[in-house]
Amino acid sequence: MNGLEKAIKQSGFRNELIESEFGLFCDKCNNKYDYYKFDNGQVVKDGCDCELIEHHKQQKEAFFKRIERNKIEKIYRYSIIPYDLQEATFENYEPQNESQEKLFNICKRYADNFELKNKQSLLLQGDFGLGKSHLAMASTTRN
Ligand SMILES: [Zn+2]
């Protein structure tokens, strides 16, 4: 099967060839290719591997993202952090009173000034529902 037959087959036989150029050079994949354009707008570059390369690149990226995601999920599975706190940030903490506002400011200042070279601890004490866990989680995910 020659390039044109292949291109027509790829277009599904239904469309008319309206443009073709042969022996073109793709400076992205460094391949010679034949160019076909059909009346439905479909373009076939027979010999150019760019689409294939892009497809492989995306597959590879998706693969590594999946591995990264699995790693993170595994860490959470073995951690004591409850699921609903995984998304806790300073931005989605809503202080309900002055005491929570104060707690928020202390934790944020702590996280903003945290340095690995000079590690400091912060002890949170208080009643249920103040948002200690939320703010502790927010502090760990701060970049
Ligand atoms: Zn190419």
Question: pTM for this one?
Answer: 0.44
Mean pLDDT confidence for 1-22? 75
- Ion ligand 1: residues, Cβ under 5 Å: 26, 28-29, 48, 50
Task: Report the separation in Å between the CA atom of 85 and the middle of ligand 1, taken as the mean of its atom positions.
Answer: 46
Four-CA torsion 82, 84, 89, 95, nearest 10 degrees = -100
Per-residue pLDDT tens digits for 67-119: 999 998 888 778 777 767 878 899 999 999 998 999 999 999 999 998 888 88
Distance from C-alpha of 88 to C-alpha of 142, rounded to nearest angstrom: 10
Residue 13 has pLDDT above 70, yes or no: no
Distance from C-alpha of 122 to C-alpha of 109, rounded to nearest angstrom: 11
Mean pLDDT confidence for 48-66? 95
Task: Report the separation in Å between the CA atom of 47 and the middle of ligand 1, taken as the mean of its atom positions.
Answer: 8
Residue appearing with tokens 């995984």: 86
pLDDT for residue 18: 92
CA atoms within 13 A on the CB side of 65: 6
Closest by Cα among 91, 98, 102, 97 to 137: 91
Distance from C-alpha of 21 to C-alpha of 27, rounded to nearest angstrom: 16
Task: Report the separation in Å between the CA atom of 53 and the middle of ligand 1, taken as the mean of its atom positions.
Answer: 8
Q: How confident is the model at residue 27 (pLDDT cuts 50, 70, 90)?
A: very high
Task: Report the separation in Å between the CA atom of 130 and the middle of ligand 1, taken as the mean of its atom positions.
Answer: 58
